[in-house]
């Protein structure tokens, strides 16, 4: 392998936590150290999908996103643990703090993946591999989680170095200078970052079978087929990514939204209206907490049959920015009535976009906006102090309501 880093090149790492949720649970339950552990939705009912599986469970063929029942058929002795999202977020933030002792340029990519730019830290902590090893040991010692580290000169190459090589070798570290991108080009095109199974099938039909085939394809041909996305996947295959590691990358939020996967098909407008109201209330509550209001309401839904997709995503601009639940709900209802095809719905989402600060708002001559805002902020305070179910709409107590069940979850999973 050539000397790395090359003169004047950045040194970017992607630190990925192995089987993150399962690793956190194994660290919390030492008695499961030598047992196959899976984290899944509802162990009591033996239902839900696999959110994480430890290496011992994966050795039995268990994979993430498969149904728990199927996983238990493969590995009957698996220990099934209900997810604890609050704990996983806490550990993720703990790992971020550890990474920040090596550089102030740390960018969370997901709950279990983070980018680091250690270019300016080499003179303090040693070579890239030495830094990666030190990070692995410190994270393992403080959290019980093993990390794999991909190293390169930009984010996309660090990601592919981690996914395709560091995750598969014993050391859990892999350096991939751009000058050695041929290591990637021999891999199947499905190993390209951002390329999923559907895109893989399209590329294979075009005779593009490997990452190298994609890299050598004229970008004009890809743009003609997929527009700007064609240019993006060509750049990825060629290891081109000038984007910096940006700690504030998730700041400057432009929209607040919430999507809910329902426990069953909702087939009537009356049932769906309950969910739209709960989502509108949650979105507006988050906007008020962030001190913002929005002017564009978006609504989307999706059916349960993913092989025959149904649903829509539409938006409408309001006359004035708002953070009031009733205003957003009325618009959400209007959009839904206009675009729903009448087929059963399994997933619903509401978003409020074009956000602006809430310290200025339009007073209507015949309205009572100030009273409504004061009332909603008061209910927010009560919920914050006594819990999200301290005050609920009456419809949330009906069979269609999800507010009570959602109060026990974060991001759709149990806290």
Binding residues for Mg(2+): 16, 112
Choose, from 70, 86, 87, 113, the residue flagged as catalytic.
113
Helix/strand/coil for 249: coil
3-state secondary structure of 394: helix
Residues whose CB falls within 8 Å of the CB of residue 40, separated by 6 or more in sequence, listed in order: 48, 49, 50, 51, 68, 71, 80, 81, 82, 83
| Sign of the Cα pseudo-torsion (186, 191, 194, 198, in order) | positive
C-beta separation of 239 from 10 below 8 A: no
Q: Is 113 a catalytic residue?
A: yes
Provide CB contacts within 8 A for 162, sequence distance 6+.
14, 16, 148, 149, 150, 174
Cα(106)–Cα(135) distance, integer angstroms? 13
Are 44 and 84 in contact by the 8 Å Cβ rule? The answer is: no
Rounded to an integer, what distance in angstroms lies between the CA atom of residue 382 and that of residue 226? 49
Binding-site residues, please? 16, 112
- Residue 14 CA to residue 97 CA, distance in Å, equals 15
Place of tokens 């959110």: 51
Where in the sequence numbering do the catalytic residues fall?
113
């Amino acid at each position: 392998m050539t000397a790395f880093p090359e003169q004047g090149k950045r040194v970017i790492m992607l630190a990925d936590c192995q089987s993150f949720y399962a690793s956190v649970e194994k660290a919390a339950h030492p008695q499961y150290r030598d047992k196959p552990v899976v984290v899944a939705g509802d162990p009591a009912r033996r239902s839900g999908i696999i959110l994480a599986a430890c290496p011992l469970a994966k050795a039995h063929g268990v994979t993430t996103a498969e149904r728990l029942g199927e996983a238990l058929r493969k590995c009957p002795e698996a220990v099934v643990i209900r997810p604890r999202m609050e704990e996983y977020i806490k550990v993720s933030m703990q790992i971020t703090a550890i990474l920040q002792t090596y550089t102030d340029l740390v960018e969370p990519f997901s709950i279990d993946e983070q980018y680091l730019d250690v270019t300016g830290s080499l003179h303090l902590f040693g070579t890239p591999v030495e830094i990666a090893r030190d990070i692995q040991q410190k994270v393992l010692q403080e959290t019980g989680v093993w990390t794999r580290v991909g190293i390169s000169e930009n984010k996309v190459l660090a990601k592919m170095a981690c996914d395709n090589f560091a995750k598969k070798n014993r050391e859990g570290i892999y350096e991939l200078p751009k000058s050695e991108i041929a290591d990637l080009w021999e891999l199947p095109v499905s190993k390209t970052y951002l390329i999923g199974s559907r895109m893989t099938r399209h590329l294979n039909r075009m005779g593009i079978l490997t990452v190298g085939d994609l890299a050598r394809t004229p970008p004009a041909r890809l743009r003609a087929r997929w527009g700007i996305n064609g240019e993006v996947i060509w750049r990825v295959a060629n290891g081109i990514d000038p984007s910096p590691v940006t700690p504030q990358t998730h700041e400057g939020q432009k929209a607040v939204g919430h999507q809910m996967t329902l426990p069953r098909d909702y087939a009537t407008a009356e049932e769906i209206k309950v969910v739209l109201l709960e989502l509108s209330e949650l979105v507006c509550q988050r906007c008020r907490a962030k001190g913002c209001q929005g002017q564009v309401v978006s609504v989307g839904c999706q059916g349960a049959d993913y092989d025959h997709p149904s649903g829509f995503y539409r938006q409408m601009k309001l006359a004035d920015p708002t953070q009031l639940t009733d205003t957003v709900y009325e618009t959400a209802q209007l959009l839904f009535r206009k675009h729903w095809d009448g087929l059963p719905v399994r997933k619903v989402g509401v978003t409020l976009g074009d956000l602006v600060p809430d310290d200025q708002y339009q007073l209507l001559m015949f309205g009572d906006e100030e009273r409504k805002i004061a009332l909603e902020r008061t209910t927010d305070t009560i919920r914050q102090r006594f819990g999200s179910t301290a005050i609920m709409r009456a419809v949330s107590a009906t069979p269609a309501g999800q507010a009570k069940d959602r109060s026990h979850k974060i991001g759709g999973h149990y806290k």
